Structure 1
Amino acid sequence: MTDPVSARPEPASARPGPVSVWHRLADTAVLLDGFHALKHALRFGARVPVAVTADRRAALALAAELAPDVRDALDALLTEVPQATYASLVPRPHPTAVAALAVRPAREANLGALRRTPRTAPVVVLDDPRNLGNAGAVIRLAAGFGATGVVTTGTLDPWHPTVVRGGAGLHFATAVERLTVPELPPGPLFALDPEGEDIRGLKLPDDAVLAFGSERSGLSADLRARADHLLSLPMRPQVSSYNLATSVAMTLYHWSLTGGAPGTR
């Protein structure tokens, strides 16, 4: 029989405060840095155990203006803390003075989404990327286009806080994982290379794996050997290259024009 005393709800004053919860989870959770990262994470089903702000009233006003769909969820989640406390919890305070911790999606679930066939949208592969901000921008692009996921090879962690910041919380809108070249998802692999066939003459299939080399050294030998097709983007002579995120945007836009399209799946 249940003890009626022990069955009573724990008093709010006895529950762990947001700062203690933050410190307990900080080493394993995903940092959502700023209002927009938290907004996107909530929209795409992230589990957010703790969220803080230095100005709750301003954060909720921003939600009412820009994201009324998540305003009630933010109202329930956000705890106001002193500015100094907020600043101590994040490596670089965000102008919106909002931060949260989210539970990272299970790797098994992401791998299942990446490997599932048939697919209705490509997988983007960043082959040994070096720039954290560029990786975040690519994840944001991929989420916007409805890509199945973004995979990185090499040493860069696609869930690094700087990458998540650059992705504006949209890691939760697509499958993001780090794999080796032999572990890449199934599907015809189209790798971007200056010597490849002009992309304008091709239709990219929905199950394509679209690979982009690093900002400095291009495609690795392993990925080049694995590629089924080499593609090039139109570029004026004597221009060396495009930014990585620009290359991904151009390629996904070409895919959306010739087959898939955002908002149709």
Structure 2
Amino acid sequence: MISSRQNQRLKDIRRLRRSKGDQALLEGPHLIAEALAAGLPLDEVLATPPFLATPEGRHLARLLPAAPLEVAPELLDGLTDADSPQGVLAVARLPRAGVEALPVAPGRPYLYLDGLQDPGNLGALARVAEAAGAAGLALSPGCVHPNHPRALRASAGSLLRLPVAVAADPDALDAHLAPAHPRWAALVPRDGVNLYDAPLGGTLILAVGAEGPGLSPTLLARAGLRLTIPMEPAVESLNATVAAALVLFEVRRRGG
């Protein structure tokens, strides 16, 4: 059992928290089980003896191709940023690519996130996109990385399954999806077309900006359709996740 903070493997895992490479930290049994179900290779699994003694721990251990490495609880807790550490984490191989990672799916929507920096919001938006049946998620250059531990945790497994394109230039995305004849839609807080009256057919790329700065002027100019969600005048705006969910599920309701 690893019981020293100076253990080199633990140091390497701490560095992974800041990495934007092809490895990711999966925190908790649910996310690890989702990775196994998705067929993602796990380089290793670290767990505390108390977790492995639980029914959930014994069940997870039976699913793994190799026995997990045991780590003292206080050391494993120091590797996670969860409010309530769950006693197990895994290092997974989760390579990311550009627009070529996305399938060309005529008639299905795509979600494009512009300048998003909050990993929890990214995870929540990925979960919404998968639930609503989006064909994929594209992240603008400069977005938070989808392998960030908090993003993975907030996605509840969606970032392990949903096709994701990183550093996705809008021109490159248009070229890649050209066979599906995509058109861009932008969410704007006011003066757009009422969502419930808007034409949402075809292959829609829904662009959502970071809370605060919103969409860049270049993306706003690209969008042939600007959508506004009708709401009470006293409410200035909705957060990005709620707004994207309303649009994507409206597309789904109409059969998109």
TM tier, smaller: 0.7 to 0.9
Matched, 1:121 2:108: yes
Corresponding residue for residue 51 of structure 1? 45
Q: Deviations for 1:57-86, whole angstroms, at most 9, x for unmatched residues?
A: 32x52786xxxxx77424756443221331
SS in 1 for 2:156: coil
Q: Structure 2 residue aligned with 1:216, among 193, 212, 216?
A: 212
The answer as to whether partners of 2:35 and 2:160 remain within 8 angstroms in 1 is: yes
Runs of 4+ in 1 over 6 A off after TM superposition: none
**Unpaired stretches in structure 2, ≥5 consecutive residues:** 1-6
The structural deviation recorded for 1:96 is: 2.0
SS in 1 for 2:191: strand
Q: Deviations for 1:13-34, whole angstroms, at most 9, x for unmatched residues?
A: xxxxxx7666557454111122
**Unpaired stretches in structure 1, ≥5 consecutive residues:** 1-18, 65-69, 261-265
Q: Deviations for 1:163-216, whole angstroms, at most 9, x for unmatched residues?
A: 222223321111222323333343111111122111112352362111112210
Corresponding residue for residue 172 of structure 2? 183
Give the aligned length.
233
TM-score between both structures, scaled by the size of structure 1: 0.76
Q: Structure 2 residue aligned with 1:204, among 200, 204, 210?
A: 200
Say if 1:236 and 1:219 are closer, same or farther in 2 by CA, change over 3 A.
same
TM-score between both structures, scaled by the size of structure 2: 0.78
Corresponding residue for residue 75 of structure 2? 85
The answer as to whether partners of 1:198 and 1:234 remain within 8 angstroms in 2 is: yes
Q: Structure 2 residue aligned with 1:105, among 86, 95, 99?
A: 95
* Letter of the structure 2 residue corresponding to residue 226 of structure 1: R
CA RMSD of aligned residues (A): 2.7
The structural deviation recorded for 1:131 is: 2.4
Corresponding residue for residue 163 of structure 1? 151
Corresponding residue for residue 123 of structure 2? 136
Q: Deviations for 1:132-171, whole angstroms, at most 9, x for unmatched residues?
A: 2211110122122232222222423232232222223321
